[in-house]
Every structure is written in structure tokens, then in C-alpha cells.
Amino acid sequence: MGDDDGLDLGGDDAGAGIESTGKKSGGGIGALLPNLLKFVAIGLGALIFIVVVVVITVNILGGKGDSQTSIDPTQEFIGTRPQYSTFALIGQMSTRTKDLNHTVVVDMVIGYDMNNNAAQTELTSRVVSLRDFTRNYFSGKFYTDLSPENEGVLKQEIREILNTRYLDTAKVREIYFIKLDVMEI
């Protein structure tokens, strides 16, 4: 009585097969849709979270607040300028320019490495040749070459010539013009 109720002892396999496939017949797209929606919702949630974090970070770091340091990107970084000892014994000189209708009055000072006694000795011993070089250099220039716009070029040329042709151990680091006047005769 109790044993017969739940068992199919007749050996009918067709009834058992229908019963087992009946439970799996709920598959297909209907069973896949909830899982697919779950992954889409997780992806959208992650995307929204990432966008919120990026917007907040951009607003905090750069968008609305003043930065603590203000640097002009167009200006070059100079840093601290080195200090040089100066040699001013060349003195003020006057000479005519190459075009002969102008005269130039120049007072040039040479800057060299600080506390370099060998450079100071060499510059002092060559003061006559330095004066001669200065006179020859400026007498070989035209009036247009001595304009204020070309002052940087003049200083660079003088520095290179002195370092390569006139000085042995001393190195000229800077050229200063205390006076550079060009006048028409």
C-alpha cells in the first residue's frame, strides 16, 4: 500500500522520460533573459560609477579651483643667476664704425668665474691686447650691427672670440656693456 503509491513499477520508460524533460522545458531565451539583464545592469552601474568618479576628480584637481602655484608657460625657467667676478680695466673707448659716418663709444666689462685668481691674472696681463681687440671689433661693425636689438649677438660674438683667440686659461662667462653709444658724425 505505501510502497505502490510513488513508484511506477510497470517499467514504462516513456512516462519517466516525459516527466524529466518536462522540468527542463522552461529553458531557452526566457531563462537567459534575467541573467542577461543582470549583467547589463552591472555594466551600466560600473559605467555610471566611473563617470561620477572622473567628473569629481576633474573638478577637484583642475576645473574650478585656483592652483596653488601660478606658472607662466611662455616664460622660460631661469633659476638663480650665477655671480661672476668682473674685469673693468678695459675702460671706455671711442672708435669709428665701418661705414665711417658714425662713431661708437663703448665701455665693456668682462665677467669671469668667481674667485678665479688665474683668470684675473691673465686678464690683467692682457689688458692692452683686450683694449686693441675692443677697438678693432667695434671699428669693423656697421652702424646697423650696433643696434640695441643686436646687443645679445654682439655679446655672444665677443665672448666666443675672447675665449678662442685671446685667452688661454681664463673663460669669459658674460660680457656687460656699461656704455654702448653710437652717434652720427
Residue 1 lies in a domain: no
Mean of per-residue pLDDT scores for the chain: 84
Q: Which of 154, 124, 130 is nearest to 142 (CA)?
A: 154
Residue 151 lies in a domain: yes
CA distances from 47 to 35, 37, 41 (A): 19, 15, 10
For residues 69-89, give the mean pLDDT.
79
Q: What's the CA gap between 86 and 92, in Å, rounded?
A: 15
Least confident interval from 16-20, 42-46, 70-74, 75-79: 16-20
Query: What pTM was estimated for this model as a whole?
Result: 0.57
pLDDT at 171 over 70: yes
pLDDT at 27 over 80: no
Q: Are residues 175 and 94 in the same domain?
A: yes
Residue 74 lies in a domain: no
Query: Could you tell me the residue range of the domain that residue 35 belongs to?
Result: 27-66
How many domains are there within the chain? 2
Q: Are residues 172 and 94 in the same domain?
A: yes
Q: Are residues 143 and 94 in the same domain?
A: yes
Q: Are residues 44 and 98 in the same domain?
A: no
Q: Are residues 90 and 148 in the same domain?
A: yes
